[in-house]
Structure 1
Amino acid sequence: MTITKVSAETMRTLCDILEDRADFYLMLAGFYFKPLTQDQIDALAEQDYTAYIEGDSLIDEGFDDIRRVLRKRHTGTRRILATEWTSTFGGAEAYKGRYCVPNASVFLDKSGSTYGWPRNAASRIYREHSLRLQGNSGMPESHLSFELEFLATLSREAAACLRSGDTAEAAALLVDSQTFIRESVLSWFPALRDLALRMLKTRFYRGVLRITEGYLDLDLETLEDVLAELGGAPICPAETTEAAA
């Protein structure tokens, strides 16, 4: 493809979009990483959710779930949410013998191993981008929190490339993001969502699941729009060779 010359104003707009994507993915990653603290709950309760209204029904429904729960929060809300998270996403309980830990390996590897082939695949992708997990979280690379954080990192890197004038590299990172969403997240998130919705008893984390599902679908459209502004998806050498043949 031919990368188009982007005006300074368009460049700023695209960078803002990419930074907003990163922030949103980090917010989602935090929901699945561990139970919320009281400070996080208070901050969420004071959040202006109108900023997130996109006209997408799932996202709107999800934020409405969160609003309704936090509007009625009380001294026991943190404990209730922590119990819900631990029972479902923490793997403390099972539904008909199935655990709902948000880890791709649990849903995609036939053995159900925490460190199955999806973990190895995610680790390889991170290494290709010179990334690796820091510290000892006790969770594998294929955990949903890390996959969402990876998407946030790619988005920030793409924004940095745009600011430095490397439009082609920014486009390549966005194509990598599209592929990762389709092949490494959406390949198993629907199964996680379906199982979690059977286990969850309150609406807060039901809302989180709705927001996540809606945003992943919406983000694929956003990436298409950003790439269109940049001139389309970059052509890899293999594709160029095939076309020439």
Structure 2
Amino acid sequence: MRLTKRKGKGSAMSENEGTARSVDASEAAELRDEMRARANMYAFFSKVFLREFDDEELARLGSSDAVPPLNERMADGSRRLARAVQVGGIDYRTRLAVEYARIFLSAGISEGTAAVPFESVYTSEDHLVMQDARDDVVALYRRHGLDVEPRLHTPEDHLGFEMEFLSTLAARSAEALSAGDDAAFAELARVQLGFLEGHVLNWIGDLAEDVEECAKDDFYPALMQIVIGYAELDVQNLRCLLE
């Protein structure tokens, strides 16, 4: 975990927040499984942007069904990802490590486009890190009892941390359902919907365009397609839950 629980802090919840509706046992069990699946998916997305893949993970991603094709964008990204891995060759992991550093860390790039995965860079007027978006997500993380590990020395609005935050809240949503706390579940859904709309989908389309321009391989552009497709679908589903 790169997002850690703050000492003495838990998730924030007001008694009057959320728009709860009661669910029966079978619906709660189905929703709980869905929330756990969401937590796993966002945890995977977090890893995409925070570290390189090992050989075992790459082998799994080479399967055409490694990522569920839940919508057209995800299906296209999944096919593109599988093809990239299948034709990558025996030294593919090494080449992807170079690709990761060049795309996301701007290694070896002296001019031109860079795909820097920080929300502030894409939402601030001067395209700088550590701007309002970073301050906003720090406040939101802390409201839910979380902090980014200081030893990482990385701004908190990194897309990997934002994905991990969503994973954490999805896991808490499953816990709320297990406890029969419909109000807590509804409030967590509301927070996740707002975060996706206000801190993820507001900028990752632009990031994806830069990744596409920087990349020499389809691997990371395909993953960006999958992330965007999943986030768009998740927004639709969360809206339905809160109706």
TM-score (norm 2): 0.86
Instruction: Report the equivalent of 1:22.
Output: 39
Decide which of 48, 56, 59 is 1:39's aligned counterpart.
56
The 3 A distance-change label for structure 1 pair 5 and 116 is closer
- Does the alignment pair 1:7 with 2:46? no
Q: Deviations over 1:173-209 (max 9, x none)?
A: 1011010001111121111111111111211111101
Shift of 1:46: 5.4
Shift of 1:47: 7.6
Decide which of 209, 230, 235 is 1:194's aligned counterpart.
209
Q: Which amino acid aligns with 1:34?
A: R
Q: Which amino acid aligns with 1:197?
A: E
The 3 A distance-change label for structure 1 pair 2 and 151 is closer
Instruction: Report the equivalent of 1:118.
Output: 133
Decide which of 186, 190, 207 is 1:175's aligned counterpart.
190
Q: Is the 8 A contact 1:59 1:210 kept in 2?
A: yes
Q: Which amino acid aligns with 2:85?
A: L
Shift of 1:72: 2.6
Alpha-carbon distance in structure 2 between the residues aligned to 1:177 and 1:95: 37
Q: CA RMSD in A?
A: 2.0
Instruction: Report the equivalent of 1:240.
Output: none
Shift of 1:29: 1.2
- Mapping of 1:39-58 within 5 angstroms? 39-45=56-62, 48-49=65-66, 52-54=68-70, 56-58=71-73
The 3 A distance-change label for structure 1 pair 123 and 43 is same
Instruction: Report the equivalent of 2:153.
Output: 138
Alpha-carbon distance in structure 1 between the residues aligned to 2:183 and 2:52: 39
Q: Which amino acid aligns with 1:116?
A: Q
Q: Is the 8 A contact 2:19 2:187 kept in 1?
A: no
- Does the alignment pair 1:59 with 2:58? no
Shift of 1:61: 0.6
Shift of 1:77: 0.3
TM-score (norm 1): 0.85
Shift of 1:96: 5.5
Alpha-carbon distance in structure 2 between the residues aligned to 1:141 and 1:214: 23
Size of the alignment, in residue pairs? 226
- Whichever structure has more helix as a proportion of its residues is 1
Alpha-carbon distance in structure 1 between the residues aligned to 2:94 and 2:79: 21
Q: Which amino acid aligns with 2:223?
A: V
Alpha-carbon distance in structure 2 between the residues aligned to 1:151 and 1:225: 18
Alpha-carbon distance in structure 1 between the residues aligned to 2:193 and 2:108: 33
Q: Is the 8 A contact 1:93 1:99 kept in 2?
A: no
The 3 A distance-change label for structure 1 pair 68 and 47 is closer
Q: Which amino acid aligns with 2:141?
A: Y
Q: Which amino acid aligns with 2:21?
A: T
Segments of 4+ moved more than 6 angstroms: none
Q: Deviations over 1:106-128 (max 9, x none)?
A: 22223333222221111111011
- Does the alignment pair 1:86 with 2:98? no
Alpha-carbon distance in structure 1 between the residues aligned to 2:114 and 2:56: 29
Could you tell me the percent identity over the aligned residues? 27
Q: Which amino acid aligns with 2:20?
A: I
**Unaligned regions of 5+ residues in structure 2, if any?**
1-17
